[in-house]
Amino acid sequence: MPDLWAGLAEVGLTPLQLVVLVLAGTVAGLVRGFAGFGTAMVYLPIAGQILPPIWALVTLVIMDFFGPIPNLPRGWRDADRPDLVRLITGMVATLPVGVALLAVLEPEVIRYVISVLALVLTVLLVSGFRYRGPMTRPLVIGTGAVGGITGGVAGIPGPPVILLYMASGKPAQVVRANNLVYLFVFDIFFMGLVAWRGWMELVPVVLGLVVVLPNLLGNMAGAAMFRPERERVYRWAAYGMIAASALSGLPLWD
């Protein structure tokens, strides 16, 4: 316990900041529950203002591992499984490269990467960008590989995959399911790499566990709200939450 309090004192975490982390985790879970994505893009821009980047990522991966579990059976039923395997194959191949970049980049650079990726994705989707071509094997594997890089360096593996699927015109339940399961598998591999590098320190692990229950409740609430016929409502709600979080996380406001 002394190590925990010393770690909290080291980053100067206040009770108000802890409340902000819990709220961010709750809203991130809500978005993930009804959209199938968005946890990192909502949570990390806020957590990055409070915690060192690697700590923020550790709290995310601990929180995000447990939160989606109640929704996985439905996600597995609705998923396009051949595409899912291709996405995961690409992601696993490049994730170590992204994590290696994370180890050498400055914290401010990582915060900009996180916020800019989230904002670019939101702008493209709001603009009505659509992919009209075929969902070929190389395209899907390559998209997963790009997600492995962005996930490793910034904790956000979703934007390339989300953009491809939401622009493809596939049914809302398939988009939601493939993103949900893909992101869960990413968490498993990312957690393994983080542990291997010795980044699983006591303080961020405990903070991640603190946010698990609020995030889990948010996931369950979001899933209960999900109705395929209300796809447009869910998309716009997710866009707004992601954009607001990304803007708040830009270091230029510091």
List C-alpha distances in Å: 41 to 44, 81, 84, 162: 6, 25, 21, 12
Which is it for the CA torsion 150, 44, 170, 236, positive or negative?
negative
List C-alpha distances in Å: 127 to 38, 79, 121, 134, 137: 18, 26, 10, 21, 26
Predicted local distance difference test score (pLDDT) of residue 10:
62
SS (H, E, C) 10-69: HHCCCHHHHHHHHHHHHHHHHHHHHHCCCHHHHHHHHHCCCCCHHHHHHHHHHHHHHCCH
- pLDDT per residue of the chain (254 residues) written in tens, 0 to 9: 555 555 555 667 888 888 999 999 999 888 878 776 778 888 988 898 888 888 898 999 898 888 778 888 988 999 999 999 999 999 999 999 999 988 888 878 887 888 888 788 778 777 776 667 778 899 999 999 999 998 898 888 888 888 787 777 778 788 888 988 998 999 899 999 989 988 888 888 989 999 999 998 998 888 887 776 666 776 677 777 777 777 777 776 55
Position 229: which residue type?
E
Give the C-alpha separation, 179 to 201, whole Å.
28
DSSP conformation letters of 97-166:
HHHHHHHHS-HHHHHHHHHHHHHHHHHHHHTT----S---HHHHHHHHHHHHHHHHHHS--HHHHHHHHH
Give the C-alpha separation, 63 to 110, whole Å.
20
Predicted local distance difference test score (pLDDT) of residue 32:
78
- Give the closest residue to 177 by CA, choosing from 36, 63, 9: 36
pTM of this structure: 0.78
